[in-house]
């Protein structure tokens, strides 16, 4: 396998993407998009939110899941999820409440500020998607979206 060079910004130069297989290509593009989205948010907001925090916020947006549900449905360690939820709570983005009729369980939901931030971030991601569509074409973005949503039968 060819040796891969990493650029100064942590990204593989576009010319070297040609040598990657599907799994590595998906990983590189995902990492690049996450970095760009995180930077876009953090450049325009005083509230720093990491990609892991966005990931958790996406799982609880418009819901009131239990923390144990979040830990089972987010691909981050249980300890890290608890840490991130505590950080999000400190930032005023989520609130943690007791579950009715269950003294052990806690549920989590976005605060009004958390929802506002999440919705503003969704607009920033839509702008990024539009930039991609301008570059590669709306038809290709639609096809890519459709392909990624298909059941790949590999789980």
Rounded average pLDDT over 135-154: 95
Q: Which pLDDT value is given to residue 102?
A: 82
Task: Mention every residue, 6+ apart, whose C-beta is less than 8 A from residue 42.
Answer: 48, 49
Write down the H helix ranges in 47-106.
Answer: 51-60, 67-73, 78-90
Q: Is 29 a member of any domain? A: no
Look up the pTM and report it.
0.82
Counting runs of H as helices and runs of E as strands, what totals does the chain give? 7, 2
Q: Is 11 a member of any domain? A: no
Q: Which pLDDT value is given to residue 3?
A: 46
Provide φ and ψ at 98, rounded to 5°.
-70, 150
Domain count for the chain: 1
Q: Is 87 a member of any domain? A: yes
Question: What range does the domain containing 122 cover?
Answer: 35-148
pLDDT, one tens digit per residue, over 20-47 is 899 999 999 999 999 999 999 999 999 9
Q: What is the CATH number of the domain that holds 128?
A: 1.10.10.10
Contact 70/85 with Cβ under 8 angstroms? yes
């Amino acid at each position: 396998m060819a040796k891969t060079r990493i650029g100064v910004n942590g990204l593989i130069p576009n010319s070297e993407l040609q040598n990657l297989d599907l799994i590595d290509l998906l990983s590189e593009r995902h990492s690049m998009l996450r970095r760009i989205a995180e930077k876009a948010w953090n450049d325009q907001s005083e509230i720093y939110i990491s990609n892991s925090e966005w990931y958790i916020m996406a799982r609880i947006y418009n819901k009131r899941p239990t923390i144990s549900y979040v830990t089972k449905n987010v691909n981050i360690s249980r300890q890290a999820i608890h840490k991130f939820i505590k950080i999000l709570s400190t930032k005023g983005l989520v609130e943690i409440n007791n579950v009715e009729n269950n003294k052990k369980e806690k549920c989590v939901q976005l605060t009004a500020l958390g929802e506002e931030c999440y919705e503003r971030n969704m607009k920033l991601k839509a702008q990024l998607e539009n930039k991609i569509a301008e570059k590669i074409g709306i038809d290709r973005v639609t096809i890519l979206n459709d392909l990624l949503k298909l059941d790949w039968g590999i789980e």
